[in-house]
């Protein structure tokens, strides 16, 4: 499990704060697995992750539209894949609630998206809307 740190910051404060929240949700799920919590607790935590993730992806996509981001279609495919993998994570944990490495796999995928697609969007914002760029969360 990795914790959110400033290496993951893309430079858009609202988005970085949401990414941090997602890491908190993932940490809670991993802790729950490590404690051997029953499935209904894990299911509750996974539902929270899923709701928050959908909110986050919708915020990003509306920012793409507002700023007429040219790569928004491709970025959307990445988001669709995250939703798909989140569903798979839930299915796999239901079958095997002690699968700690399953969260690690999802997390690695999420981190790759942040460091590639989200960071690419942030660089566009830096160029085109500099007032929105460069504020890092505390």
**Exposure on the CB side of residue 43, measured as CA atoms within 13 A:** 6
| CB 18 to Fe ion: min, Å | 7
Instruction: Identify which range of 26-34, 42-50, 58-66, 128-136 contacts Fe ion by CB under 5 A.
Output: 58-66
Contacts of residue 56, defined as CB under 8 A and 6 or more positions apart, other chains included, come to 18, 19, 21, 22
Handedness of CA 47, 16, 76, 109 (dihedral sign): negative
Q: Of 40-48, 56-64, 85-93, 104-112, which segment contacts Fe ion by CB under 5 A?
A: 56-64
Residue among 22, 17, 6, 12 nearest 121 (CA): 12
Applying CB under 5 A, among 8, 32, 60, 102 the residue interacting with Fe ion is 60
**Per-residue string for binding with Fe ion, 110-129, x by CB under 5 A?**
--------x-----------
Binding region for Fe ion (CB under 5 A): 60, 118
């Amino acid at each position: 499990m990795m914790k959110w740190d400033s290496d993951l910051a893309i430079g858009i404060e609202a988005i970085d704060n949401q990414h941090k929240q997602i890491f908190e949700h993932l940490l809670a799920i991993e802790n729950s697995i490590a404690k051997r919590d029953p499935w209904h607790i894990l299911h509750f935590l996974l539902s929270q992750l899923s709701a928050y993730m959908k909110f986050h992806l919708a915020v990003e996509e509306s920012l793409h539209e507002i700023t007429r981001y040219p790569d928004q279609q491709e970025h959307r495919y990445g988001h669709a894949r995250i939703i798909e993998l989140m569903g798979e994570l839930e299915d796999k944990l239901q079958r095997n609630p002690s699968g700690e490495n399953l969260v690690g796999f999802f997390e690695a995928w999420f981190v790759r998206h942040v460091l590639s697609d989200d960071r690419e969007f942030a660089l566009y914002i830096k160029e085109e809307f500099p007032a929105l760029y460069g504020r890092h969360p505390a």
